[in-house]
Amino acid sequence: MSSISLHNISKVFPDGTQAVQEISLEIRAGEFLVLVGPSGCGKSTLLRLIAGLDELTGGSIKIGGENAASLLPKDRDLALVFQNYALFPNLSVYDNLSFGLKARKVSKVIIKEKIIPVSQRLGLEELLQRKPDELSGGQRQRVALGRLLVRNPSIHLLDEPLSNLDANLRTSMRHELAKLHNEYQKTTLFVTHDQVEAMTLGQRLCVMNQGRIIQVGTPTEIYDFPEHRFVAEFFGSPPINLFKGEIQSVQNNSFFTNGSIQIPLPKDSDLSEREIELGIRPEDWTVHNEAPSHSVSATLQRIENLGDTRILHFATQENAIIAKSELREFQVGRQYFLTPHWNRVHWFDLQTEKRVLR
């Protein structure tokens, strides 16, 4: 197993595009790390730099402790699975699976010994003589994974491998990928722009935006303690409610205000007077029928029924508020009273957009 160490790496394309900027990251041997961020933030470029398919503009990469600059792509003991799987259309599944080993002059007998267990593992035994265009999307995806497992490199680089599959197949392939990682324990870098995929697959997530790392952490750290407004907004569906406003203090009582919303802070809050942005996730509101002391009064405008939960769209005079509830008895047009779970709210500096700890 190999670790990957990125030290201050950057990539500027000839047209001047800064795709990756000053990225430093340690990926532990055997770890499943997800690179996640919006389209164009540099995820694929980072993967290609690690694979040796693109040249670094600055910085250095170590693979298994060795400087990658001295390693040709074929000597990096890694394999990359692309979004479109890159199968050879005129080769059978068997020949697609054996291609990498044949290129390395591995004997036919050994190739067969490697292909049989992998094809059994992935349910491909009956399909070995078919061509890729005679397979479903999910089957093609499994062939691409099979090709990787047959070669069995130390590092698996997966670039949005599930994005061509329908929702059900994505979910079942997610489970399959997690199980495969458990069995094979390979160092895995998985690229996605899908927050659910990232949260459910990654042991750690590396959140990127505009070529830079914004936060690295476990799914729980990323969701519960976003270090940056961008991370808070990127994760969570429906998205977090964000209110720009300020902390004011009157006679030792502090409250957050932004016009129509005025919420007193708990007594133990150590936020002093300042401009600030308050983030409250939809699930972190309690919705009351009668006004408790200190609540936000809002009119229910729309209900989205997800079966097990209701997404409630409220409006105050100036703000829209989204809340989530497992209760069912809500009426559009009625006034309700909302209180936040104070131990779960998030504060962000207005200028730097970084988390302000309470």
Residues at the site binding ligand ATP, with contacts judged by CB under 6 A: 13, 15, 17, 19, 37, 39-45, 193
Closer residue to ligand ATP (CB): 84 or 305: 84
Closer residue to ligand ATP (CB): 12 or 311: 12
Q: What are phi and psi of 299, to 5 degrees?
A: -100, 135
Task: Please tell me the distance from the alpha carbon of residue 348 to that of residue 278, in angstroms, as a whole number.
Answer: 6
Closer residue to ligand ATP (CB): 39 or 343: 39
DSSP state of 166: -
Neighbours of 42 (CB within 10 A): 24
CB of 46 to ligand ATP, least distance (A): 7
CB of 107 to ligand ATP, least distance (A): 38
Amino acid at the residue 65: G
Helices in 52-131 by DSSP H: which ranges? 93-103, 108-121
Burial class (CB in 10 A: 0-12, 13-18, 19+), 209: middle
Task: Please tell me the distance from the alpha carbon of residue 322 to that of residue 243, in angstroms, as a whole number.
Answer: 12
Closer residue to ligand ATP (CB): 160 or 277: 160
CB of 233 to ligand ATP, least distance (A): 17
Closer residue to ligand ATP (CB): 48 or 228: 48
Pairing between β-strand 58-63 and β-strand 4-12 as defined by DSSP bridges: antiparallel
Closer residue to ligand ATP (CB): 20 or 322: 20
Task: Please tell me the distance from the alpha carbon of residue 339 to that of residue 295, in angstroms, as a whole number.
Answer: 5
Task: Please tell me the distance from the alpha carbon of residue 47 to that of residue 53, in angstroms, as a whole number.
Answer: 9
Q: What are phi and psi of 176, to 5 degrees?
A: -60, -45
> Which residue, among 186, 221, 101, 85, has the nearest Cα to 177 in the 3D structure?
186
Q: Which two tokens stand for residue 39?
A: 């389209």
CB of 23 to ligand ATP, least distance (A): 12
CB of 83 to ligand ATP, least distance (A): 8
Closer residue to ligand ATP (CB): 156 or 324: 156
